[in-house]
Structure 1
Amino acid sequence: MGIGRSHITSFLVGCSLYECTWVQLVTQPWPGLADTVMFHRVFWTFPPCIEAFKHCKPLISIDGTHLYGKYGGTLFMAIVQDGNANILPIAFAVVEGETKEAWLFFLPYLCHHVTPKPGVLVISDRHKSIDGVLNADDSLWKPLHAFQKFCTRHIASNFMTHFKNKDLKKVLINAAYSKSQWEFAHYFRRLRGENEAITKWLDEMPRSQWAQFADEGRRFGHMTMNISECISTVMKGSQNFPIMAFVKSSYFRLGELFARKSSEVLAQL
């Protein structure tokens, strides 16, 4: 998408709908046109989201979903939940695709501007691009600042790709959800007895990243990325919007959400 230089400021003003909104826009040159650049990526977050995260569980679900407008691309979101099970997106990015470079753009800004406190848990699928960024030598998402966990449903899906056994998939899920080491060992032995290759495959992941008994309570019982997918469903109607319209839509929808939740709280007083 071409953006004239005079329009970049307008784009940022469109994103910065009120004071302290944080936006990072990245463009690239339009071939053959010295005064024109193309949209490449944008990250944004709103002050109420940053403030709200301070009062939520220290757990972030990150995910990407396709955009279906004229220019395509992928929407990244970071989602959190408070103690009353209210779900809130706290940061967004529109990028070219779910690549390592795109996650390397999104995750450092998320850490610096939205989730700077230590001890945060990040739950995601096992996409190699996410894993590569979270575990890079200079990553800001390593213990003790942050801890990485995997979504059980995505692990089960990967299991079916490799082993194609629905009955053993249920055993795997039971192992992941086990709350004690004894219970986990019971299901793990069943998997090993059926096919030792399964347990070797599972041992490629640290147990603390997929087994509930070993997560030190950091998951708060969140074994899947359901909170991300709930928000993806809510934002679904916006996935065909142009990028500026999508950014503004996220602002107005969040404004409605905060206003509604505020009214609900006041009604309880």
Structure 2
Amino acid sequence: MMRSRVVSSLFVDRIRAKPKLKLVEIIHEFKNYYGIDISYYHTWFGKELTKLDVHGDESKSFNELVWYVNAVKGTNPGSLCVLECEAGINRFRRFFVSFGGCIVGFQYCMPLLFIDATFWKSKYYGQLLCASGNNGNQAFYPLAFGVVDSETEENWTWSLQHSAAILLPMGRVVTFFSDCNQEFDIEVPKSGYGKLLQDYVINLFSICAYAVTEEEFKVAMDKLVIVGSSKVKAFISDLSRDHYANTFFKGMRYGQMASNLAE
């Protein structure tokens, strides 16, 4: 226990800055800096103690969500804060929050909403669904967040329905952006293509997306269909070109194409 406490006290700043610091890294650093060997168990337990000190007890934090919802609504008028639990057992299922101040401020941002998801970095696996605007300084403006168990169509529908409850009263037409680059990368695996050909295929798709005329779009698409595999062709055929191609998009982009909030 003493050794674990020593690890916790000496590495608290490192683990706070890098929560995913590997145990083997801690063991090697402990040896290099202090010339002392420490067991894997004491290293693991020391890191757990540090995480507890820095972030608190994650399991107990779920019990505070009911209080948090009431606190948000009481101190930030106009907020939309929804906690959903499984019926009968009251086990956490998902959580949505949009602060009243952010809702008011979004009305002064461009009518653009970027949606994305990132992994929830804790011992309880899940994902954070994000909806963010774009302010006058071309910086992201946080509007809403959803905490869910996984990135599924059901969870996204649930989150977007709550987002719609915020946006509809504003009376503005809002353009949604969703980054699908990684999906296309999956359809163009490196093996079998080679890096150069893979980059060429992805570049052709980018030309299709950014094309400003139908002729430019057709030329790039014809090349893409020729060099793309059957998986690429199937992927493209399932896409509505008015959703990803600048030429056919019926709404307003305001000079934007896509953005990845997770980064």
Q: TM-score, normalised by structure 2?
A: 0.64
Amino acid at match of 1:81: N
Contact 2:131-2:143 at 8 Å conserved across structures: yes
Q: Return structure 1 stretches of 4+ with deviation > 4 angstroms.
A: 1-5, 195-200
Amino acid at match of 1:124: S
Amino-acid identity (%): 24
**Deviation per residue, 1:178-215 (Å, 9 max, x gap):** 11112112212222343584455423211111111111
Does residue 72 of structure 1 match 2:105? no
Mapped to 1, the partners of 2:120 and 2:234 lie a distance apart of: 37
In structure 2, list runs of 5 or more residues that go unmatched: 1-58
Q: Quick check: which has more Rg, 1 or 2?
A: 2
Match of 2:78 in 1: 20
- Alpha-carbon distance, 1:30 to partner: 6.9
Taking a change above 3 Å as real, the CA distance of residues 212 and 70 of structure 1, as seen in their structure-2 partners, is: same
Mapped to 2, the partners of 1:68 and 1:50 lie a distance apart of: 26
**Deviation per residue, 1:119-160 (Å, 9 max, x gap):** 3222224xxxxxxxxxxxxxxxxxxxxxxxxx4x23542441
Contact 1:188-1:199 at 8 Å conserved across structures: no
Partner SS, residue 224 of structure 1: coil
Does residue 180 of structure 1 match 2:213? yes
Report 1 or 2 for greater relative contact order, CA contacts < 8 Å, sequence distance ≥ 6. Answer: 1
Partner SS, residue 103 of structure 1: helix
- Give the superposed CA RMSD: 2.9
Match of 1:55 in 2: 108
Mapped to 1, the partners of 2:262 and 2:65 lie a distance apart of: 31
Partner SS, residue 71 of structure 1: coil
Mapped to 2, the partners of 1:48 and 1:179 lie a distance apart of: 37
Taking a change above 3 Å as real, the CA distance of residues 98 and 184 of structure 1, as seen in their structure-2 partners, is: same
Contact 2:79-2:101 at 8 Å conserved across structures: no
- Alpha-carbon distance, 1:59 to partner: 1.8
Taking a change above 3 Å as real, the CA distance of residues 28 and 168 of structure 1, as seen in their structure-2 partners, is: closer
Q: TM-score, normalised by structure 1?
A: 0.63
Match of 2:134 in 1: 81
Contact 1:21-1:47 at 8 Å conserved across structures: yes
Higher mean Cα deviation, 213-222 or 101-110? 213-222
Q: How many residues align?
A: 197
Match of 1:214 in 2: 248
Mapped to 2, the partners of 1:4 and 1:79 lie a distance apart of: 25
| Map 1:109-258 → 2, pairs under 5 A | 109-116=162-169, 117-125=171-179, 151=180, 153-154=181-182, 156-161=184-189, 164=193, 165-195=198-228, 197=230, 198-199=232-233, 201-216=235-250, 218-226=252-260, 228-230=261-263
Mapped to 2, the partners of 1:50 and 1:87 lie a distance apart of: 14
Amino acid at match of 1:119: V
Taking a change above 3 Å as real, the CA distance of residues 4 and 24 of structure 1, as seen in their structure-2 partners, is: closer
- Alpha-carbon distance, 1:21 to partner: 2.2
Contact 1:2-1:38 at 8 Å conserved across structures: no
- Alpha-carbon distance, 1:82 to partner: 2.7
Greater strand percent: which structure? Answer: 1
Greater helix percent: which structure? Answer: 2
Mapped to 2, the partners of 1:43 and 1:4 lie a distance apart of: 14
- Alpha-carbon distance, 1:9 to partner: 4.3
Higher mean Cα deviation, 111-120 or 93-102? 111-120
Taking a change above 3 Å as real, the CA distance of residues 2 and 181 of structure 1, as seen in their structure-2 partners, is: same
Contact 1:160-1:166 at 8 Å conserved across structures: no
